[in-house]
Amino acid sequence: MCSLSEKLLDAVNEMANLGEFGDCKVIINSTDHIPPHVHLLRNNDLVAKIEIPFTKVKNLQSLVILKKGREFKEYLLSDFVKWINTIDRKLNKPYYIVCSYIWDTLHK
C-alpha cells in the first residue's frame, strides 16, 4: 500500500530542461511514456516529440518523430540534429547521451 507522500510524489511532473538553441528548448517530462523521447519546444509550443537516439544522428531522416506540433518546421529539426550531436560542456558527453541519462534518471 502506498503512503500519501508516495502518491503525491508519483503525481508530480518534473521537467528537465536539457538545453536551448535559438528560440527553442529541449525538455523531458518525468511522467511521459516510453519510448524515451524529448519535447522540442519553440516559444513554449510543441515543435515535435522526438525519440532519443542512441548514437550520433547522421541526418534529419535518422530522427524518429513521434508527434509533430503546431510549431513544426523542418529547419528547426535540422538545428536539433546539430544540437543533439554537440558536446555538453559540463558532462563532456554528446547531448544524445545526456538526454538518455536524464530520461533514465527521471523514469526509475
Question: Quick one: which of 44, 33, 84, 43 has its CA closest to 63?
Answer: 84
The reported pLDDT for the residue numbered 14 is: 73
Tens digits of residue pLDDT in 17-35: 899 999 999 999 988 889 9
3-state secondary structure 5-72: HHHHHHHCCCEEEEEEECCEEEEEECCCCCCCEEEEEECCEEEEEEECCCCCCCCHHHCCEEEECCCC
CA angle 73, 103, 59 (to 5 degrees): 40
Q: pTM for the full model? A: 0.86
The reported pLDDT for the residue numbered 35 is: 96
The reported pLDDT for the residue numbered 77 is: 95
> Cell numbers of 51, please?
525519440
Low-confidence residues in the chain, pLDDT < 50: 4-6, 8-9
The reported pLDDT for the residue numbered 8 is: 46
